[in-house]
Structure 1
Amino acid sequence: MLVKWIRCTVVDRRGFERGQRAWAGLLGEPGFRGQGGGWSRRRPDVAHVFAFWESRAFYDSFMARAHERLAAAQSGTYKDIEVRLFDHRFDVKTGFEPRFAEADVARVAHCTVHEERVEHFALMQQRVWNPAMAGSPGMLGGVFAEAPGHEFLVLSLWQAAAERGKYRAERLERLALRAETETDVAALSGDVVRLDAAWTV
C-alpha cells in the first residue's frame, strides 16, 4: 500500500475547505483506498491530508489522468505544499484500514533515521512502540511506512484528543529510552491533526 502525506500552509481557509470537497471524485478511482485529513492543532493555517493507494502503479495512473482536474478546485488557496510518498511496511495495531470516520485526531511523526540504524529503528517500532500504542485506550490503528533516504512515517488515528493525551509525557520518555530512539533518529518532526469529517473520502 502507498501512503501519501500532503502538508500545506493555507492562505484562504474557506476556499481550501470548499475545494477539499472536490476530492470526493477519488471514489471509484482504481486502486484508491481512502483519504482523510484536517488542521494542525498547533498551527491553524497548516492542513494535513493522508491518502492511501493499493500500489504506486494505481497512484501514478491517477496522477497522469484525473489529478489536475480535482486539484484545480483548490488552486490559489495554499502555499508551501509538501507531498511525500511512503511504502506501507507494517500496521500499528493489526488490521489497519484507511477509514477516518471514527477518528477525531491523527498523530503524524516523520523521522529521518541514521542509515546504519534503520533495521534497529523498525524493530523497535514493532517491539516497543506498536504494543504500547495498540494497548492505549482510544487508539484506533495506524501505519508505519518508509520512503527512500531512510525516511519513515508513523501515522496513528485516535478516537479523541484526550485519549491521545493519556499516552504522553513520562510514558513516552520511558519508551524512547527503551527503544534507543535518540540513537536511531537523525531528525524528527511531527504534528497532531484535528480531523475534519468533511475531508474523508
Structure 2
Amino acid sequence: MIAKYIRCEVPAANRDDFSKGQSLWQATAHCQGFISQLGGWDLSSGKSTSGKAMILARWSDMESVKNFMRVTHDPIAEETNQDGTYSTISVSYLRLVMSIPALNQHQNHHCNSQVGCGFIRIADCYIDPEKANEFIKEQARLWNPGMQRVEGMLGGQVWLFNDKPQRYLVTTYWENEAAHRHYASHYFPALKQQAATDIIQSISGYHIQTEPSWQITP
C-alpha cells in the first residue's frame, strides 16, 4: 500500500475556498487502485493567520498513483480551482511498513480503519539509521498494544518515506479528539516510560480534525 501525503499552508482568508475545492476531489474514488482519503486542519495551527491542511490518500500500489497523475489528476485539479488558495504545498509518497489494528480489528483489515474517523494523530519521526529494526519492533511490542486498549482508537499505519529511508510517519485514526486526549493523558505517559530513548532522533506531532467533505471512499 502507498500513501500520498499532502501538506498545504492556507491563509485564513482562503480556508473556505480551499475546503470547497478539496471536496471536489471525490472523482478520485473511481480510479483503479484508490483505497481512501482523509484530511483536515492541524489543530496546532490555532488562530494564526494561516492554517495547515493535511491530507492522506491511500493507494494499492505506485503504478496506480502514476496512472492517476497521468490521466485524471489535472482535470480534477482544474475544476477545484485550489491553486490560488494555498501559499505552499508539499507532497510525499510513502510505503506501508506496518498496520496498526484496533482492538476488534484483524491485523490485515487495514482498509476500514478510517471509517468513522474524526481525528488523526500524525507522528513524523526521524530514526537513527542503525535503529530502524528496533523502531519497528518497539512499535509492534509496546505502542500498538498500548493504543489498542483505548476506546475510540480505530487503527492506523506506520509508513516509510520513499525518498528518506530514515523518516517514518505513524498515522493513527480516532473517533474524535476526546478519545485521543484520553489516551494521551491516561495511557501515553506509562508507555513512554517503557520506550527506548535512543531510537528516535527527532519527532514532530500533528493533531488533525478531519473534514467530512474531504473524505473519499470508493
Q: Using structure 1 for the length normalisation, give the TM-score.
A: 0.94
Deviation, structure 1 residue 176: 2.4
1:86 equivalent to 2:94? Answer: yes
Distance across 1 between alignment mates of 2:153 and 2:212: 18
Deviation, structure 1 residue 116: 0.5
Deviations 1:37-91 (A, max 9, x none): 1111111511111100000111111112221222232111112212121111111
Given that 1:111 and 1:189 are in contact with CA atoms closer than 8 Å, whether structure 2 keeps it comes out as yes
> 1:32 is matched with which residue: 34, 47, 57?
34
**Structure 2: unaligned runs, 5 residues or longer:** 102-106
Distance across 2 between alignment mates of 1:98 and 1:38: 18
Which residue of structure 2 aligns with residue 171 of structure 1? 187
Deviation, structure 1 residue 98: 5.2
> 1:155 is matched with which residue: 171, 174, 177?
171
1:71 maps to a residue whose letter is A
Which residue of structure 2 aligns with residue 128 of structure 1? 142
1:127 maps to a residue whose letter is R
Distance change in 2, residues 1:26/1:199 (3 Å): same
Given that 1:114 and 1:186 are in contact with CA atoms closer than 8 Å, whether structure 2 keeps it comes out as yes
Deviation, structure 1 residue 177: 3.2
Which residue of structure 2 aligns with residue 55 of structure 1? 61
Which residue of structure 1 aligns with residue 17 of structure 2? 15
**Structure 1: unaligned runs, 5 residues or longer:** none
Which residue of structure 1 aligns with residue 104 of structure 2? none
Distance across 1 between alignment mates of 2:169 and 2:95: 9
Deviates more, 1:12-21 or 1:89-98: 89-98
> 1:106 is matched with which residue: 102, 108, 120?
120
Given that 1:52 and 1:98 are in contact with CA atoms closer than 8 Å, whether structure 2 keeps it comes out as no
Distance across 1 between alignment mates of 2:188 and 2:70: 42
Which residue of structure 1 aligns with residue 203 of structure 2? 188
1:90 maps to a residue whose letter is M
Deviation, structure 1 residue 28: 1.1
CA RMSD of aligned residues (A): 1.5
> 1:96 is matched with which residue: 110, 115, 133?
110
Given that 1:101 and 1:197 are in contact with CA atoms closer than 8 Å, whether structure 2 keeps it comes out as no
Given that 1:100 and 1:197 are in contact with CA atoms closer than 8 Å, whether structure 2 keeps it comes out as no
Distance across 1 between alignment mates of 2:177 and 2:6: 21
Distance across 2 between alignment mates of 1:135 and 1:70: 41
Deviation, structure 1 residue 99: 5.6
Given that 2:155 and 2:172 are in contact with CA atoms closer than 8 Å, whether structure 1 keeps it comes out as yes
1:200 maps to a residue whose letter is Q
Distance across 2 between alignment mates of 1:31 and 1:172: 35
Distance across 1 between alignment mates of 2:167 and 2:111: 22
